[in-house]
Amino acid sequence: MELKKILVPYNFTGNDQKALDFVVQRYGQDGNVEITLFHAYTPVPKIDVSDQTVMTLMNSNLSYLRQKISELEIEFDKAKERLIRSGFAGEKVHCEFKPLKGDLSQDIINQLKSGGFQTIVLNHNPSKIKGFFTMSTSKKIMKSLPGIGIHMVV
Q: pLDDT tens-digit profile of 80-130? A: 999 999 999 999 999 999 999 988 889 999 999 899 899 999 887 655 554
Q: pLDDT tens-digit profile of 49-66? A: 666 666 666 667 788 888
Domains of the chain: 4-153 (3.40.50.620)
Cα separations in angstroms, 46 against 28, 60, 73, 101 = 41, 11, 19, 16
**8 A C-beta contact, residue 119 and residue 150:** yes
pTM to 2 decimal places: 0.82
